[in-house]
Amino acid sequence: MSRNYTITIANEKGGVAKTTSAVSLAGAFVEMGLRVLTIDLDPQSNLTLALGHKPNTGTLSISDILLKSENISNAIVPTSIENLDLVPSNSELGVAERFLPVRKNHDTILRNSLGNFLDYDFIILDCPPALGAVTLNALTAADMLIIPTQAEYFSAYALKNMMAAIRQVRSQNNPSLIYRIFITMYDGRNRAHRTLRDQLQTTFGNDGLLKTMIEIDTKLRESPIVGIPIMHYVSKTRSAQQYRAMAEELIENVGELEQKQFAKPA
Ligand SMILES: Nc1ncnc2c1ncn2[C@@H]1O[C@H](COP(=O)(O)OP(=O)(O)OP(=O)(O)O)[C@@H](O)[C@H]1O
Ligand SMILES: [Mg+2]
């Protein structure tokens, strides 16, 4: 593939499966034979941990790239899964919200650091639950933003701020940013969930809302402990199948958007 396609996973709301989706989509892409780089942009380091890497163990981290202009190639670590690499974060990133805005042209630091030289099919950015300088960097670096949301009133309401952030980033440094919302932790037996799903469908339509939904699956709570994606942990569990379907849907979307052919699984 000629170019890294960058997918940013963000939502100001906490605990909506951003990190779970970053790991699981990465796992699904890798299963298809694609090469994936994941980048942890959260000082909580949940993505780093979920991919089996201990933060603060002396390797470079994303804060060295954002705050100290280190070359990103030097911060990439392998994971136990072939073709799945990671740029870890650590608690140092906590100061980024304060110090990043001091830097010149700070919104484009991450995009410039990714450049066009990395040898991956997909780069997946996992954001913290905030709409600060770090998330704005990730939206500026993105080809596509994907927004996990629960089918709950407060989660749907929080999308308003996400839409405002998209407008801001489009008007500043990334006019071609596209977004897709998707529903996580869905329970089809719950009437409120079905109602919210219908409302999201009406509001955002087929271009804004992914068809694939991720249902509740407690196995997803176990896979970070093992430090591998869900499909490498329990291949046939429901959420593994759903994240595979989502990966295929995203590739179709990208293909339609860029009229580019990606490799399909055998
Ligand atoms: N489909 C699912 N079914 C059941 N549990 C899930 C599902 N998706 C995620 N979870 C669980 O929900 C919790 C929050 O998920 P996760 O950490 O991925 O969210 P997040 O948006 O990254 O949170 P934060 O905002 O803190 O970064 C975790 O315990 C995770 O295991
Ligand atoms: Mg997270």
Pocket test for ligand 1, best of 9, 20, 49 (most atoms within 8 A of CB): 20
pLDDT digits (tens, 9 = 90+) for 140-189: 999 999 999 999 999 999 999 999 999 999 999 999 999 999 999 999 99
Angle 238-258/18-31 helices, nearest 10 degrees? Answer: 80
Q: What is the pLDDT at residue 257? A: 79
Q: What is the pLDDT at residue 261? A: 45
Q: Which residue's CA lies nearest to atom 11 of ligand 1? A: 221
Burial of 164 (C-beta count, 10 Å sphere; 0-12/13-18/19+)? exposed
Q: Which residue's CA lies nearest to atom 16 of ligand 1? A: 17
pLDDT digits (tens, 9 = 90+) for 98-108: 899 998 899 99
Instruction: Give the start-to-end residue ranges of the domains of the chain.
Output: 5-258
pLDDT digits (tens, 9 = 90+) for 120-141: 999 999 999 999 999 999 999 9
Looking at ligand 1, which atom is closest to the CA of residue 221? 31
Query: In what helix (H) or strand (E) does residue 85 lie, and over which residues does it extend?
Result: strand 84-87
Helix (H, G, I), strand (E, B) or coil at 121: coil
Ligand number with the minimum distance to the CA of 15: 1
Give 22 Cα–ligand 2 centroid separation in angstroms. 9
Determine the average pLDDT of the residues in 227-247.
Answer: 97
Please state the pTM of the whole predicted model: 0.95
User: Does any ligand 1 atom lie closer than 6 A to the CB of residue 221?
Assistant: yes
* Residues in Cβ contact with 183 at an 8 Å cutoff, skipping those fewer than 6 apart: 148, 149, 150, 151, 197, 200, 209, 213, 214
As a whole-number percent, the residues of the chain with pLDDT over 90 amount to: 88
Q: What is the pLDDT at residue 1? A: 42
CA distance 219 to 21: 13
User: Does any ligand 1 atom lie closer than 6 A to the CB of residue 125?
Assistant: no
User: Does any ligand 1 atom lie closer than 6 A to the CB of residue 146?
Assistant: no
Question: Which pair of structure tokens corresponds to residue 170?
Answer: 């489009």
Q: What is the pLDDT at residue 255? A: 87
Give 132 Cα–ligand 2 centroid separation in angstroms. 15
Question: What are the phi and psi torsion angles at 94 (to 5°)?
Answer: -55, -30
Looking at ligand 1, which atom is closest to the CA of residue 20? 18
C-alpha distances (whole Å) from 247 to each of 16, 22, 73, 256 are 18, 11, 25, 14
User: Does any ligand 1 atom lie closer than 6 A to the CB of residue 78?
Assistant: no
**pLDDT bucket at 256, cuts 50 / 70 / 90:** confident
Give 221 Cα–ligand 2 centroid separation in angstroms. 13
Q: What is the pLDDT at residue 139? A: 98
5-258 homologous superfamily: P-loop containing nucleotide triphosphate hydrolases (3.40.50.300)
Q: Which of 168, 253, 154 is nearest to 211 (CA)?
A: 253
pLDDT digits (tens, 9 = 90+) for 11-36: 999 999 999 999 999 999 999 999 99
Q: Which of 155, 146, 250 is nearest to 199 (CA)?
A: 155
Q: What is the pLDDT at residue 244? A: 98
CA distance 69 to 112: 10
User: Does any ligand 1 atom lie closer than 6 A to the CB of residue 13?
Assistant: no
**pLDDT bucket at 116, cuts 50 / 70 / 90:** confident
Give 86 Cα–ligand 2 centroid separation in angstroms. 15
Tokens 């052919």 locate to 261
pLDDT digits (tens, 9 = 90+) for 58-93: 889 999 999 999 999 999 999 999 999 999 999 999
How far apart are the two ends of the chain, measured CA to CA in Å?
17
Angle 219-226/238-258 helices, nearest 10 degrees? Answer: 80
Q: What is the pLDDT at residue 104? A: 87
